[in-house]
Amino acid sequence: MENTAISVELRSFIARYYRADLLKEDDDIFAIGFVNSLFAMQLVLFMEKTFDIKIGSTDLDLNNFRSIRAMVQFIDRKSAEATSKD
């Protein structure tokens, strides 16, 4: 999936809960208060289902989820890992 499409999907999901239209690609969603623990788990589940990736406990580093850009890069890495294993 193209990075722009990934970003659009993430924004669409976040918009269900927050004003994602105000969110810039590099805004830290933890620092600005967009995320609580329940939302973080919903985000992980959404990413696994939507982008067909597996997120393990070692992936649960805040830096992978801090911003739209960080999540896009993380999804790209996980997708590439899955492709290389096939």
Q: What number of other Cβ atoms are within 10 A of residue 44's Cβ?
A: 15
Greater confidence, 37 or 55?
55
pLDDT the model gives residue 79: 93
**Predicted local confidence at residue 37, as pLDDT:** 84
**What would the pLDDT profile of 15-41 be if each residue is shown by its tens digit?**
888 877 778 999 999 898 878 888 999
Domain annotation for the chain: domains and CATH numbers = 3-85 (1.10.1200.10)
pTM of the entire structure?
Answer: 0.90
Please tell me which residue, 21 or 11, carries the higher pLDDT value. Answer: 11
Residue 86, exposed/middle/buried by CB under 10 A (0-12, 13-18, 19+)?
Answer: exposed
